[in-house]
Structure 1
Amino acid sequence: MGMLKLAAGVAVGYVLGSRAGREQYEKIASTARRLSAHPTVVQAQEKAKAVISDRAATTRAETTPVVTTANGVSPRTPRPKHTGVTAVPAPGEPPL
């Protein structure tokens, strides 16, 4: 996947920096379209989407705690982690 990103970056950089004109741009663009439609590339994209979707669902399930209440089950938003930054009271307000 890293090599594909590198190749795409080189192609984009060449297109943007090229002085060869519209003909060269069209040649590169058509090559990119053919490459993106290649069955191997399409299969890799689908596999990557499936992996990302599965991991996102797993992460979401792990990070959303559920609290049982008298009325049933309700999701609870996790409290934010302490960042080490403390609030400074406005002038005239009592300290925290």
Structure 2
Amino acid sequence: MAKLSFLAGFGVGYVLGSRAGRERYEQIVRAWDHAKDDPRLQSVAGMAQAQADNVVQSVKAKMGSDAPR
């Protein structure tokens, strides 16, 4: 997941900071649109969301049982 974040940040930085022009920008946008619709990426995103939900539920449970009343 960190690799995906790095690549997304790199892409955004390149698009915003480069002088490549509109054609290169459109190429990057098409590549991103293609990648975000990839079932493998959707699967990874779903697993990450499920794991984040589990962590949140775990923290909520611990805080609820350890909180003074």
- Fold match (TM-score > 0.5): yes
> For 1:1-96, what aligned pairs fall within 5 Å after superposition?
1-65=1-65, 78=67
Considering fraction of residues, name the structure with more helix: 2
**Paired residue total:** 68
Q: Which residue of 2 aligns with 1:92?
A: none
Q: CA–CA distance in 2 between the matches of 1:54 and 1:20?
A: 42
Higher relative contact order (CA 8 A, sep 6+): 2
Larger radius of gyration: 1
Q: Structure 1, unaligned stretches of length 5 or more?
A: 67-77, 80-96
Q: Which amino acid aligns with 1:24?
A: R
Q: Equivalents in 1 of 2:40, 2:26: separation in Å?
A: 23
Gapped regions of structure 2 (runs ≥ 5): none
Summarize deviations over 1:13-56 as a string: whole Å, max 9, x none. Answer: 11001112211111101101111111110000000000100110
Runs of 4+ in 1 over 3 A off after TM superposition: none
- Aligned partner of residue 19 in structure 2, secondary structure: coil
Higher alpha-carbon deviation: 57-66 or 37-46? 57-66
Q: Structure 2: how far apart are the matches of 1:61 and 1:23?
A: 51
